[in-house]
Amino acid sequence: MLLATWNVNSIMARLPRLLEWLDATRPDVLCLQETKVADGAFPTAEVAALGYEVAANGSGRWNGVAILSRLGLEAVTAGFAGEPGFPEVEARAVSATCGRVRVWSIYVPNGRELEHPHYAYKLAWLAALRDALRSELGAGHQLAVCGDFNIAPSDEDVWDPAEFVGSTHVSVPERAALTELLDLGLTDVPPRALKGRPFSYWDYRAGMFHKGMGMRIDLVLLSRAPASRVTDAYIDREARKGTAPSDHAPVVVGFATES
């Protein structure tokens, strides 16, 4: 299976770039975040023309996630049991079975600042996600949890750790929450960089991309069986170049599925 995840920062604004990328890369499954579109307005026909079915969870202006699959979509679920809200539950998770693999597309809350209520929300959301994923693994699925985690797993995953002292995305509790997900039996698949370091996000401002000032916050977590069968993993930084890019680049992982 060729599996990818991409925070597109509005699927409508990104549609030409998205269709071009899908046609060139042809992943079996693509997880999307920050689609910023209500389900009824999702460009279903445009992606169907390339052979993809859609499982979307979106409410409009903010957030929004989706899974595009050309291996079918079964047992589609929006959100998860016990998912916290801010204060209402937001469109941050969708899951579906694609072929033999249970796939999740998630958009973890940003957190904003360490003292902000959004930070507590982020940690609560991650704890509830852990419990939901524990149930999925208990059901014996091959599992892929993909998305924008808004956590840099280590200091190697930001361009300059000194710039992040006192900030979200690198704090001990956030990294501990990610470690709890990995402790369920998931592997953060290490991507190779096509150039520079394997970052997946660069701020639009101040030429950050061109200066190599990025972060790796978009992750693909695989359960043990698919993680042992990874054939390649990379970040497609070409998608961050050119006209009207997202501020995130796609992460692409190939692995052999169990027979």
Partner DNA sequence: ATGCCCTTGTAACAAGGA
Does the protein bind DNA through residue 148 (CB under 7 A)?
yes
18 contacts DNA (rule: CB under 7 A): no
21 contributes a contact to DNA by CB under 7 A: no
Considering only 44, 76, 118, 124, the residue that binds DNA (CB under 7 A) is 118
Nearest distance from C-beta of residue 242 to DNA, angstroms: 5
Count of residues that bind DNA according to CB under 7 A: 35
Among positions 60, 79, 173, 254, the unique one binding DNA when judged by CB under 7 A: 60
Greatest extent of the chain over all pairs of C-alpha atoms, in Å: 48
Q: Is 20 in the site for DNA (CB under 7 A)?
A: no
Nearer to DNA, 141 or 169 (CB): 169
Q: Single out the residue of 248, 251, 252, 253 in contact with DNA (rule: CB under 7 A).
A: 248
Rounded to 5 degrees, φ, ψ at 214 are -125, -170
Question: Using CA atoms, how far apart are residues 63 and 17, in angstroms rounded to an integer?
Answer: 19
Residue 216 binds DNA (CB under 7 A): no
CA distances from 212 to 98, 151, 202, 203 (A): 35, 18, 8, 10
Contacts of 218 by beta carbon, 8 Å cutoff, 6+ apart: 5, 6, 7, 147, 148, 149, 200, 201, 248, 249, 251
> Which residue, among 146, 108, 129, 104, has the nearest Cα to 233 in the 3D structure?
146
Binding residue (CB under 7 A) for DNA from 155, 156, 163, 203: 203
Q: Compute the C-alpha angle 91/130/187, nearest 5°.
A: 105
Q: Is 201 in the site for DNA (CB under 7 A)?
A: yes
Q: Quick one: which of 57, 63, 34 has its CA closest to 201? A: 34
Which residue ranges make up the site for DNA (CB under 7 A)?
7, 9-10, 12-14, 34, 36, 60-62, 109-110, 112, 118, 148, 150, 168-169, 201, 203-207, 209-211, 215, 217, 241-242, 244, 247-248
